[in-house]
């Protein structure tokens, strides 16, 4: 999962709007509810992903900057 986040962070994102995080498995240790989720779009990613659990501070901040309208503080 972190490798996929690096791809997104480095602007290797889907050409389809809202699909940057499509088909991404989020392990239970990174989700808000402690369950594994396979997300199909950006909306689902931000619904289940707990950005504060991402160990790489720069990656976390870059995702927040790239998706300011999706991140709910």
What mean pLDDT comes out for the span 33-56?
90
CA-CA distance, 63 to 43, in Å (whole number)? 13
pLDDT of residue 40: 87
Q: Is it the case that residue 10 has pLDDT exceeding 80?
A: no
DSSP letters for the chain:
-HHHHHHHHTT---SSTT-TTTTEEE-GGGBSSSS-EEE-SHHHHHHHB-GGG-S-HHHHHHHHHH-TTT---
pLDDT of residue 42: 84
pLDDT of residue 8: 55
Q: Tokens 């389809």 label which residue?
A: 16
């Amino acid at each position: 999962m972190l490798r996929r986040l690096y791809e997104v962070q480095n602007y290797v994102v889907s050409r389809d709007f809202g699909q940057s995080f499509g088909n991404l498995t989020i392990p239970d240790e990174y989700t808000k509810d402690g369950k594994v989720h396979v997300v199909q779009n950006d909306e689902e990613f931000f619904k289940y992903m707990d950005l504060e659990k991402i160990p790489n501070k720069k990656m976390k901040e870059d995702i927040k900057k790239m998706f300011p309208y999706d991140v709910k503080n």
